[in-house]
Amino acid sequence: MSGKKDLAFEKKRIAKETEYEYELSAIAKKFLPTEKNRLLFKTMKKVFGMDPMTGIDVKMYKRGGFHQLKSKTEFAKWGKQIAIERGLPAYNRAVGIPLGQRALEPYIISGTDIIVDYDDLHHVNNAAIQQMLDDIKRTVILNLDIPHQVLQVRAGKEITPETVNLYLETVQHTIGGGAVAQEHMAEIHPGLTADAYCKVITGNDELIDMLDRRFIIDIDKQYHPDRAKALKKAIGNTMFLVARVPTIAVRIGDGGVVYRWAAMQSSMAFISAYRLTGESIISDIAYAAKSAQLIQMGERTWFSRARSQNEPGGIPFGYVADFIQCFRDLPPRPFIEIITEDLEEGRKYLHRMAEGVGTIANILDELIWYGFYMSGGLGFSTGVAAGGYCGEVVTDFVDSVSELMHRYMQNVKKVPPRWDTVRWILEVSLQIMMETYEKYPSLMEFHWGGAHRVSLVGNLAGNTAAMLTGSTTVGLQGVHYAIGLLMKEGWLRTGWAGQEVQDHVGLAYSTALRMEEGGLVELRGPNYPFASYTAGHSAGLTGTCVSAAMARGSSWACSPVVNVAFADPHLKFDFARPSLAIAKAALRQFMPAGERDLIIPSH
Amino acid sequence: MTKEKKKIDYTPQIYPGAEPVSERRRKIMDPNRRLLKLRDIPDDEVVTLLGHRAPGSLYSSVHPPLDELMEPYDPIKLLVEPTPGARAGDRMRFVQFADSFWRPVIAPWLRARLYFNRFRGVDTVIYSGREILEMRERDVEAATRILIETELFDPARTALRGLTVHGHALRLDENGLMFDARRRYTYDKDLKEVVYIKDMHARILDEPIPVGRPLTEKELMQMDVTYRWDTRQYKSRTEILSVIARIAKFRINAGFKPDLMNGR
Amino acid sequence: MRYKDRLDLYSDTGECIAENIPLEAISPLINPYIRKLLRFIKSTAFVDLKAIETMARTGRAGHTTSLRRDEVQMPWHSRDWPILENAELIAEYVENILKTYPYNGCQDDTEVRLFEGGQKLMIKISNHRMDCASGRAPVYTLSGLAVGQAICDLFNITPETDPDGCAFLKNILYGRYPQTVTFQPGNPVSGFLRPPQTQEGIGTGYRTIITNHLVALANKRTFDAVALATILEQGAQFEMGNALGWYERYHLLGMAYQGFNANNLVLDFIVENKSGTVGDVIRSLMRKALEDGVIRPKGDKFPDVQPSGYKFYTSDDIPLWNAYTCAGLLAACVVNVGASRAAQCVSAVLGAFGDMLCFESGGLPDPDCGRIMGTGLGFCFYTHSIYGGAGPGAFPMDHVLIKHTSGFFTPCVAAAMCLDAGTQIFSPQMTSAGFFKIREEFPIFQNPLQKVAEAALEVKKHMK
């Protein structure tokens, strides 16, 4: 015996109220059959290979360490090989934490049957994630009306469908690094820039009929007819050129390369197609291309986090919402109508939203901006991002919340965007999610950090508020309330210490009319100063833009032309089925662009 | 000159809620209420577990004792009572705890509230899986005694943990202990107690240190400071939810225009 | 006058310095001392002649590192210019270049002065030049370039006699600018504030100084450091428009109660809890706010009294409640850091005070409506992890981690750095040694709390 006094509970006790509460525990067990039908039950069982509601892991410490995972075993082998070849140690499992004392569980990509290792989802290990980022960075949109006006007015040139088609054919050549006007311009091997091309977006059907179809992003084909109509009306008669600069260019330089490259090559194409020379007109054309109406995906970030244009920190949440193409084929109706009429139809929207926000928004901001640009080599944010698109967790949550919406909002036409109204929506949706974690120790283990849980639960709660009210501001307040106050008082724990900075500051900032505060969520981004260093909210904030658009029945969230620019089937990354692309990459089945095989020894 | 105002008797309310979890939170936060002592851990063993110095050795200093320090005149420095560790010039050291998610007797945010109500000279950072408490070395040793001898510590589900804190959210091991990748503690089946075989920094101890028996599930259900679906459900906590909704409303509206919330 | 509020201002020994002051008398727009101090800070440059001579002699300039500063080594560019020997000549020369001609009765108030034994030049740019400029760049541009011209003329440095010398002198004065956006660390030409091209955020100029500098300027006297930090922070808040209209009284009350110990509130909290905890300060705050009528129980029935007996309090004057909470926050920081005498403890108070206060007060807003709590939690994390870095005093007041408040945050950090007994690596002695000397040299920085109060008394006579 230790000889220490065990001082607990020696005195005789009177029966307490708490002891009668144990009945609740017994009653709760009667709901087990319902729980077992949940999607989450099935997925967690598959992931952990045992009853997902058990709180004990009998195999803990006995799973064989890091050898549980194929990826880590492969890493160890490679590490040894590299060390031998180069004479310097490399990856080495003998240093640091003894990994794999706990279960290193497989990850099921939501919406697929594909099972991957956790390390396959690190952005450096996943070619699809890299291509997604590259496809965003290398996109820039130029207004073609203005250069055409310059040509007509200053050069007296006739603009006809033939000349425009010639220009479009020429720009496919120049954008990939082909020369048109001068001798002895070093050219780029087309095999290295096969992913570079340009396409046209316009809302003018007559114009579309006159142009070569190959060069058009066909809005009617890509979108549901009602969405197509709304988008074409918003875009109007303007002709936009969506330029995709080669992936390899962005990898050598950065996002700042893109608009210059596109503007240069578009100007060269004009010069060639319209037989211009080194005259002052081309200065106007270049200006028109670079400045007059040039739509970049991202703007420069503040000095202390300085990055150029078209880099993740500078992309507004509204644009990220428009990158997401997951439900462009679905009718754009106010969400309350859909969910009250038909639960399954409503769930379809939610699942698509979950896929888009859970992958694209989460990855772009959590994994790439915070985990890479702002931090570095640590793999912490992979988990936070993966929480959004693995294990069918979000799917299960939205299924639960949508069932309540379907049942209780039958006679509701509109939910006013007021705090007092929205509060209960947040509380109800949040309780469901928090209780699920309490019921499923396996889920708790799967989302092992406060960062994962808080970002997922808080963001979803806020998105629920946005999708019923149509207000991104109220959605934002919901996210902050859910994370900084609601979750905190339930569990007395939140995220990673700095995560809730945004939530306490954010409530006061949400509607403030001050220089560093306020503004619509669509027009905020990771560069918004207090957001730039506090992770775990971007999916929620982008999600509110997507949700509010769903609530209104809008066909886009912030910019119709940006939305259409990503409805392009030629893009390497599939913005309509992002989970599948990422899963394929995890299985080494995704071929990215910009590879250098043509210019390096075979290996 | 300030007018003489009538002093009123203010009774702190600390925290809302009319049921046992709230009551427990209030108890822990209220410095006037005694915490139940559950075990005795000798001083030397506390020092060994913390691992900052060998038991019996002198404290390292980071500056001379305050009485010997030459500082420019500042009445405030002379006013506030320094802690013993500050007075001696000890370096700042820490104790860090991980609290399991599963029926914790204390949880991170409650720790911060406890520390600021019961201790002086506190530096703490609140994570989800751990909370660090940094104080002057002898002060942190004194605080650690309270934190591990009383009802604030369940040997199975509260852990002293320096580096590698992963585990608060994991399922428990076959003995009901919280996961620890560094295996600082085990369950001794003969003693029926949790025994630390490594110190907080995961350095192997010469002599294992028992820290008492794990609390039973029934005890934990009574002492749980969090709300659970199968005991006290968060959704029924109308009082707390009213308060935090009020906080949010004030922050939003007064953040927009301060006078908007006057009298509300 | 817009506001009816009247206050008494107290010193850090509890002595009443100014009675019955109108609130606006402490406004940065009105208080003569505050205006003079801000003007001085905004318009004053320092040129380190010794550093120029050393850099010239060693052939080292254009570095980007803070310590050692020796990654760029081009000894073939070294020059033996006897700058210190000719310091007085240089000062005279610079004054001649910079002085503006009096007109219409305007006085030229250019001031050029040697100090620190003739090693440094203080250059106060005239109000005329500052007014003609669109911003505050003259402090950096005119001062350094005037010194450069003086050196060239005095030592006959021209493209014909010494082309590399001409070029090198530019790098000595300004680092690699404009190849870089910033000047080099330890740049010989400097001001109190960071140069405008590195300013992050519109109107934040007065915040571009690190807290440790203010602590040094206050000679580590707690309430003086708080006063200086308050003056600069609020100067910026007014410029940013944060203190405009709806918010003006909110800011002025916060300034008064937290920054200038109005009604001895902060000191009373500290005295009452000198052996106490942060929690004790919160309870003192509640009691005092109730006594003073700043808050009251909202009602005596449900829902204003909850089933457990928990009361909702309300305030008929939220800006005044905010001022009280900010004063309480400062007192809590002083009590906690005063106990440990370790500045690192301030961040935790800033992060957790608001949380505890919200629940004690039945949901009333915490200091600055949650902005301070959120910023404090981030400050906590980033001063204790690999993701951020540096001690609390080494952050400039406009740093991305700490700038998200209405200016009631950094005075608490300044107080903490004063109370630190020597636990910090990034102490004021290490980061701001020169500023201790500046304080001795320029009395305007001495006893700021006293001076604010005296100036308020002075201007009170004219306020109706």
pTM: 0.94
| CA–CA dist A165, A352 (Å, integer) | 36
Per the listing, tokens 């005498």 go with: C341
| CA–CA dist C167, C191 (Å, integer) | 23
CB < 8 Å to C242, chain A:
514-515
In this complex, which of C200, C203, C401 lies closest to A302 when CB atoms are compared? Answer: C200
Q: Report CB contact under 8 Å: C371, A514.
A: no
CB < 8 Å to A22, chain B:
221, 231
Per residue, the 3-state secondary structure of C97-143, as one string, reads HHCCCCCCCCCCCCEEEEECCCCEEEEECCHHHHHHCCCCCHHHHHH
Contact status of B96 with chain C (Cβ, < 8 Å): no
Contact status of B11 with chain C (Cβ, < 8 Å): no
| CA–CA dist B158, B106 (Å, integer) | 8
User: Which H or E run contains C8?
Assistant: strand C6-10
The residue type found at C344 is: Q
Task: Please tell me the predicted confidence (pLDDT) of residue A9.
Answer: 46
Please give the angle made by the CA atoms of C267, C268 and C269, to the nearest 5 degrees: 90
Q: Report CB contact under 8 Å: B258, C370.
A: no
Q: Report CB contact under 8 Å: B117, C351.
A: no
Q: Report CB contact under 8 Å: B63, C306.
A: no
% of chain A with per-residue pLDDT over 70: 95
Contact status of A435 with chain B (Cβ, < 8 Å): yes
CB A4 within 8 A of CB B148: no
Q: Give the full edge-to-edge strand order of the sheet including B204-210.
A: B185-188, B193-198, B204-210
Per the listing, tokens 């997951």 go with: A326
Nearest alpha carbon to residue C221 among C445, C396, C52: C445
CB < 8 Å to A531, chain C:
none
- Tell me, yes or no, if C382 is annotated catalytic: no
In this complex, which of B37, B125, B234 lies closest to A431 when CB atoms are compared? Answer: B234
Task: Please tell me the predicted confidence (pLDDT) of residue C386.
Answer: 74
End-to-end CA distance of chain B: 31
Which is more confident, A304 or B172? B172
> Residue C198 CA to chain centroid, in angstroms?
17
CB C269 within 8 A of CB C283: no
pLDDT band at A375 (very low <50, low <70, confident <90, very high): confident
Q: How far is CA C6 from CA A110, B2, C235, C450, C464, in A?
A: 63, 11, 21, 18, 12
| CA–CA dist A186, B139 (Å, integer) | 71
Chains in contact with chain B (at least 3 beta-carbon pairs closer than 8 A): A, C
In this complex, which of A9, A438, A444 lies closest to B228 when CB atoms are compared? Answer: A438
Q: Report CB contact under 8 Å: A516, C381.
A: no
% of chain C with per-residue pLDDT over 70: 100
Q: How far is CA A240 from CA A311, B54, C50, C104, C262, in A?
A: 21, 73, 60, 59, 62
CB C108 within 8 A of CB C165: no
CB C428 within 8 A of CB C215: yes
Task: Please tell me the predicted confidence (pLDDT) of residue C361.
Answer: 97
Sign of CA dihedral C421, C422, C423, C428: positive
Work out the burial of residue A118: count CB atoms within 10 Å of its CB; fewer than 13 is exposed, 13-18 middle, 19 or more buried.
buried
Helices A280-287 + A256-273 axis angle, to 10? 140
Q: Report CB contact under 8 Å: C291, B250.
A: no
In this complex, which of B180, B181, B240 lies closest to A489 when CB atoms are compared? Answer: B240
What are B211's two structure tokens? 């820290």
| CA–CA dist C413, C397 (Å, integer) | 10
CB < 8 Å to B113, chain C:
279, 352, 355-356
Q: Report CB contact under 8 Å: A516, C374.
A: no
Mean pLDDT of B230-250: 93
Mean pLDDT of B207-228: 95
- The residue annotated as part of the active site, out of C101, C174, C250, C387, is C387
Chains in contact with chain A (at least 3 beta-carbon pairs closer than 8 A): B, C
Task: Please tell me the predicted confidence (pLDDT) of residue A262.
Answer: 95
Q: Report CB contact under 8 Å: A419, B254.
A: no
Task: Please tell me the predicted confidence (pLDDT) of residue A74.
Answer: 95
Sign of CA dihedral A254, A255, A256, A257: positive
Task: Please tell me the predicted confidence (pLDDT) of residue C389.
Answer: 72
CB < 8 Å to B258, chain C:
246-247, 249-250, 318-319, 322, 369
Write the CB contacts of C9 (distance below 8 Å, at least 6 apart in sequence): C16, C17, C18, C21, C26, C256, C260, C261, C262, C449, C452, C453, C456
CB A316 within 8 A of CB A525: yes
User: Which H or E run contains C47?
Assistant: strand C44-48
Chains in contact with chain C (at least 3 beta-carbon pairs closer than 8 A): A, B
User: Which H or E run contains C297?
Assistant: strand C296-297
Per residue, the 3-state secondary structure of C392-404, as one string, reads HHHCECCCCCCCC
DSSP assignment letter at A288: I
Q: Report CB contact under 8 Å: A515, C203.
A: yes
Query: Is residue A2 over pLDDT 80?
Result: no
In this complex, which of A302, A501, A507 lies closest to C377 when CB atoms are compared? Answer: A501
Cα dihedral A224, A230, A235, A239, rounded to 10, equals 40
DSSP assignment letter at C73: -
Task: Please tell me the predicted confidence (pLDDT) of residue A22.
Answer: 53
Q: Report CB contact under 8 Å: C283, B109.
A: no
The residue type found at C115 is: F
pLDDT band at A10 (very low <50, low <70, confident <90, very high): very low
Write the CB contacts of A36 (distance below 8 Å, at least 6 apart in sequence): none
Contact status of B126 with chain C (Cβ, < 8 Å): yes
Q: To the nearest whole angstrom, how far is the Cα of A486 from the nearest Cα of chain C? A: 13
CB < 8 Å to A507, chain C:
369-370
| CA–CA dist A246, A175 (Å, integer) | 8
Task: Please tell me the predicted confidence (pLDDT) of residue A28.
Answer: 67
Q: Report CB contact under 8 Å: C381, A497.
A: yes
For the stretch C241-252, pLDDT in tens is: 999 999 999 999
Task: Please tell me the predicted confidence (pLDDT) of residue A7.
Answer: 47
Long-range contacts from A427-430, C-beta under 8 angstroms, 24+ separation: A427/A486, A427/B235, A427/B241, A428/A401, A428/A404, A428/B235, A429/A401, A429/A404, A429/A460, A429/A461, A429/A464, A430/A457, A430/A458, A430/A461, A430/A482, A430/A486, A430/A487
The ipTM value here is 0.96
State phi, psi for A202 to the nearest 5 degrees: -155, 155
Which residues partner with B134 through β-bridges? B94, B123
Task: Please tell me the predicted confidence (pLDDT) of residue A380.
Answer: 79
Q: To the nearest whole angstrom, how far is the Cα of B173 from the nearest Cα of chain C? A: 30
Residue of A nearest to B250 (CA): A508
> Residue C345 CA to chain centroid, in angstroms?
20
Per the listing, tokens 């120049």 go with: A174
Task: Please tell me the predicted confidence (pLDDT) of residue A531.
Answer: 87
Helices A472-481 + B238-256 axis angle, to 10? 130
Query: Is residue B1 over pLDDT 70?
Result: no
| CA–CA dist B159, B148 (Å, integer) | 9
| CA–CA dist C198, C178 (Å, integer) | 12
Contact status of C179 with chain B (Cβ, < 8 Å): no
CB pairs under 8 A between B and C: 250
Contact status of C355 with chain B (Cβ, < 8 Å): yes
Between the ranges A176-180, A366-370, A538-542, where is the mean pLDDT highest? A176-180
Task: Please tell me the predicted confidence (pLDDT) of residue A3.
Answer: 40
User: Which H or E run contains A260?
Assistant: helix A256-273
| CA–CA dist B27, A334 (Å, integer) | 49
CB C323 within 8 A of CB C289: no
Q: Report CB contact under 8 Å: B122, C340.
A: yes
E strands within chain B?
92-99, 123-126, 131-136, 158-160, 185-188, 193-198, 204-210
List of chain C residues with pLDDT < 70: none
Contact status of C437 with chain B (Cβ, < 8 Å): no
CB pairs under 8 A between A and B: 201
> Residue B96 CA to chain centroid, in angstroms?
9
- Show which of residues 267-326 on chain C sit within 8 Å of chain B, judged by CB atoms: 270-271, 274-280, 283, 286-287, 290-292, 303, 306-312, 314-319, 322
CB C144 within 8 A of CB C175: no
In this complex, which of B79, B117, B255 lies closest to C270 when CB atoms are compared? Answer: B79
| CA–CA dist A87, A71 (Å, integer) | 23
Write the CB contacts of B95 (distance below 8 Å, at least 6 apart in sequence): B50, B132, B133, B140, B143, B144, B147, B160, B200
Mean pLDDT of B30-35: 97
Q: Report CB contact under 8 Å: A515, C201.
A: yes
- Show which of residues 500-529 on chain A sit within 8 Å of chain B, judged by CB atoms: 504, 507-513, 517
Q: Report CB contact under 8 Å: C377, A498.
A: yes
For the stretch A200-213, pLDDT in tens is: 999 999 999 999 99
| CA–CA dist C76, C79 (Å, integer) | 9
pLDDT band at B7 (very low <50, low <70, confident <90, very high): confident
Per the listing, tokens 């957790």 go with: C352
The DSSP-derived string for A494-510 is: -SSSSTTHHHHHHHHHS
Q: To the nearest whole angstrom, how far is the Cα of C12 from the nearest Cα of chain B? A: 7
pLDDT band at A535 (very low <50, low <70, confident <90, very high): confident
